[in-house]
Structure formats: C-alpha cells, structure tokens
Structure 1
Amino acid sequence: MKQIPTAWNSERLFISDLKESEIFDIQSIVDTSNYVQEWDGRDHEPDYVRSCFEKGNLPPGGKLANYRIQTIRTIQENKNIGVLSLYHGYPMENSVYLEFLYIHSETQKQGYGQEMMHALTQLFFDLGYKEIRINVALKNWAALRFWTKSGFDQISGIYGDLEHSDKTFANMELIKTLKKHDI
C-alpha cells in the first residue's frame, strides 16, 4: 500500500515529516494538549515526540516503515501549529490509523483541523485506502464532536473501564469509510 508523501499541503497548511531539529518545538505544542489526560487517564509523556521520531508509536506487531510523524505548519506565517502521527495498514492493509492529530490550543477554532481532515481524506482515498480509524477518550467531548463532524460515523468498539467515575477511563474507536462522494 502506498504511503502519504514526506511533504504535502492543503490550502493554508504545509505538512512534512518531522525533522530532528523540530522535536523540541513540536513537543512544546504537544504539551499544550495535557488537559486531555484528565479524560483519557494517560500520564504526561515529556519525550513523546522524540520517542515517536526514533521508535514510532506502533500497533501490536507494527513495523516502523509503516509509521509516520509529521509537522503541521501554516503556509502564510511558516509557523508550526500541530502534529500528525499515523500508521499505514492497521488493523487491515487498506486502513490508516490516526494515532494523534493535534492543533495547538492557541490556533484551534480556526478551521485548521477540518482542513487537515478534508485534505487527509482526499489523500488517503487517492492512495487507495478504504478507511481511517482513530481512538478517542469518551470523556473528550470536544474531540468526539470534531471527529463525528469529520465523518467518523462508525464505532468499532469501546475499550477501557466498565464503570464511569472520576478515576476510570474508556475510549471509543471511530471509523470513517472513504467513498468517492465524500471527497
């Protein structure tokens, strides 16, 4: 299966493979997403970006060659505003798993996320993929709204704790089927 290019763009954004020199800047952007930890129960990972750059964030049995981490920057200001981390071919060969997509909290609500998803959907469809998957914390209502608005309208499963409380967590895996008329 083909993979996304090392560099590509949408109308206002330029997306390219993370360079080692960008790790600190991108980690500082990822750190602005720490509020999500109260919804997903994960611990802060101060070396998340470096770890992804060096080893990837792979699914069970995954290969580094199928993993990609890319920066998202504005074309006009040439400023890093986000990060995209994904895996080609999981859980099936014609699937793409979005491991992490995040736009800096200071630049959210400007349409960049929807622009990214529209461009990614087109790109993945053109490459022959049939679906995109993502895992979302059930307590992350803003993300659930974003992903359903982006066309993720199928639930493949709910995973995690069985009961709701302040100290329990669960995630839902969402799927967007790629069809010609959606592009």
Structure 2
Amino acid sequence: MKHLPSSWKSERLIISDVKPFEIVELQKLYDTSRYIQEWDGQENDINYVKNCIEQGNLPPGGILANYRIQSIRTLEGNQTIGMLSVYHGYPAEHVLYLEFLYIRNVVQKQRYGQEMMSALTNQLTILGYDEIRINVALKNWPALRFWFRSGFSQIGGIYGDEKHSSNNFANIELIKKL
C-alpha cells in the first residue's frame, strides 16, 4: 500500500509531514478547534500533536507506519492554516481514514478546505485508493455540510449514544468513493 507523499501541493497550499519544531504552533492551532467539543463531547488533548507524532492516533490493530500527520500551509506567505492526520489502510487496504482535518477559523470560507479535499482526492486516486472515510459528530452541522459538499455521500455507520441530549453524543462515519 502506498502512502501520501511527505510533501505535496495544491494550487494555493503545501501539505507536509509535521516536523518537531512545528509541534507548539500546531498544538495552538489544534486548541482553536476545541469549540467542537460541545458537539463531540471529547476533552481537549493538550499534547495532541506531540502524541500524534510519537505514537499516532491509531485504529484498533493499527501501526504507526501507516499513520501520518501533516501541516497545511499557504504557498504564498508560508502561513500555517491547518493540519491533516490520516491512517492508510483502515478498515481495508485501499481505504484512507481521515482522522482529523482542521482549517484555522479565520481563513475558513476561503475555500481552502474544498481545495484541500480536491487535492487529497487526486493524490489518493493516483495512489490507488478506493475510498476515504471520516467520523463526524452528528451535532457538528457545519462539518456535516462540508463533508457532504466534498462528496462524502455514503454512511458507514452511526456510533455513540442512542438518545439525544446536551450531554449525549454520537458520530456518523461518512464515506467518499473514489
């Protein structure tokens, strides 16, 4: 199974493996995404980026060699605007699991997310992948809209609490066929 390159580009972005010197900056970026906890019920991980580099955020039976965390920067100005973490080969060999994708709030609505997903889809098609999967909090309506617009039109499953309340949470696994 082939993996995403350690560095690749889209029209306005460069995506590359996270280097140790980027940990602090990317952790601050990750911390700005924590408004999502009201939708997913997760606690803020103050060492998320460091842990991802050192041990990955792996699926059951996963291995670190198949995990990758990458920064997303603008080609013009080299500004860090986001990050991407993926697992190659879960739940099947030719499936990429998108563990986390986040674009900085202040640059959302500038089509960086759509550009990122288009470039990722192109990369994965070249590498021979069949599909991309992502797990999204059901309460995260902006993300659900984004992923649907990005071609994630199949449902792999719904997981979590069965009843709705402010203290209950559930996720939906979305699938994009390539």
Q: TM-score range by the shorter chain?
A: over 0.9
1:41-62: per-residue Cα shift (whole Å, max 9, x none)? 0001111000001100000000
Aligned residue number for residue 72 of structure 1: 72
Aligned residue number for residue 36 of structure 2: 36
Identity of aligned residues (%): 64
Q: Which runs of structure 2 are paired with 1:130-169 in the superposition (5 Å)?
A: 130-169=130-169
Distance 2:168 2:10 in 1: 38
RMSD between aligned alpha carbons? 0.4
Distance 1:84 1:42 in 2: 18
Question: 2:60 is paired with a residue of what secondary structure?
Answer: coil
How much has 1:106 moved relative to structure 2? 1.1
Q: Which runs of structure 2 are paired with 1:1-183 in the superposition (5 Å)?
A: 1-178=1-178
One-letter amino acid of the structure 2 residue matched with residue 89 of structure 1: G
One-letter amino acid of the structure 2 residue matched with residue 129 of structure 1: Y
Distance 2:107 2:64 in 1: 30
Question: 1:114 is paired with a residue of what secondary structure?
Answer: helix
1:74-117: per-residue Cα shift (whole Å, max 9, x none)? 00010111000000000000100000000011111100000000
Question: 2:45 is paired with a residue of what secondary structure?
Answer: coil
Distance 2:92 2:171 in 1: 20
Question: 1:123 is paired with a residue of what secondary structure?
Answer: helix
How much has 1:26 moved relative to structure 2? 0.5
Report the TM-score when normalising by structure 2. Answer: 0.99
Question: 1:16 is paired with a residue of what secondary structure?
Answer: strand
1:118-173: per-residue Cα shift (whole Å, max 9, x none)? 00001001100000000000000000000000000000100000000000000000
Question: 1:152 is paired with a residue of what secondary structure?
Answer: coil
Distance 2:2 2:156 in 1: 24
Question: 2:81 is paired with a residue of what secondary structure?
Answer: strand
Question: 1:129 is paired with a residue of what secondary structure?
Answer: coil
Distance 1:34 1:4 in 2: 27
Report the TM-score when normalising by structure 1. Answer: 0.97
Aligned pair count reads: 178
List runs of 5+ in structure 2 lacking aligned partners: none
